[in-house]
Structure 1
Amino acid sequence: MTMPPAPRHNGGPPLDDEDDKTASWRSWNWRRAHKKAWKTPPREIALRRLARAEELGMTYRDYALEIMERGKYL
């Protein structure tokens, strides 16, 4: 019996379920979506985000993650 995902869990595919026939398809879709979400933005946007992240004392990756999760610019 599996536990339901915790609140605010992103619902990603279980990576250890070897008996599941659709696991490879879900895993492929998950990797594809992850790659698309973390695609490098144009240079100007990346530099603007980097400057803002440094102002806030965050790393670029943490700042980009906040944008993706909340859809808001800090």
Structure 2
Amino acid sequence: MSPASPAGIGHNGGPPLDPPDVNESWRAWNWRRAQRRAWKTPPREIALRRLARAEELGMTYRAYTLEILERGRYL
């Protein structure tokens, strides 16, 4: 906060309680990279098989793929 703007009620303007994380940008970069790789478009046969299975279960393709990515196994 700048000195011109008042702090909120109950805030004493002191330093943050948690120390700054020196690896935060590295972890964020790795997370974005892993997410891009996980959501990369699969080969046509795999996408069609996932789509058919998702329709059988009454789910969207994206929701079904998310379940596979989260649990590491097929439904």
Shorter-chain TM-score tier:
0.5 to 0.7
More moved, 63-72 vs 42-51: 63-72
Identity over aligned residues, as a percent? 79
**Structure 1 residue 73: Cα displacement:** 1.5
Matched to 1:42, the amino acid is P
Consecutive unaligned residues of structure 1, counting only runs of 5 or more, are: 1-18
Q: Distance in 2 between matches of 1:72 and 1:22?
A: 31
Q: Distance in 1 between matches of 2:72 and 2:32?
A: 21
Q: Distance in 1 between matches of 2:45 and 2:21?
A: 43
Number of matched pairs: 57
Q: Distance in 1 between matches of 2:72 and 2:31?
A: 20
CA deviations over 1:40-71 (Å, ceiling 9, x no partner): 11011001101110111101111011111222
Q: Max radius of gyration: which structure?
A: 2
For residue 50 of structure 1, what is the aligned residue in structure 2? 51
Q: Give 4+ residue runs of structure 1 displaced > 6 Å after superposition.
A: none
Q: CA RMSD in A?
A: 1.6
The alignment's TM-score, normalised by the length of structure 1, stands at 0.68
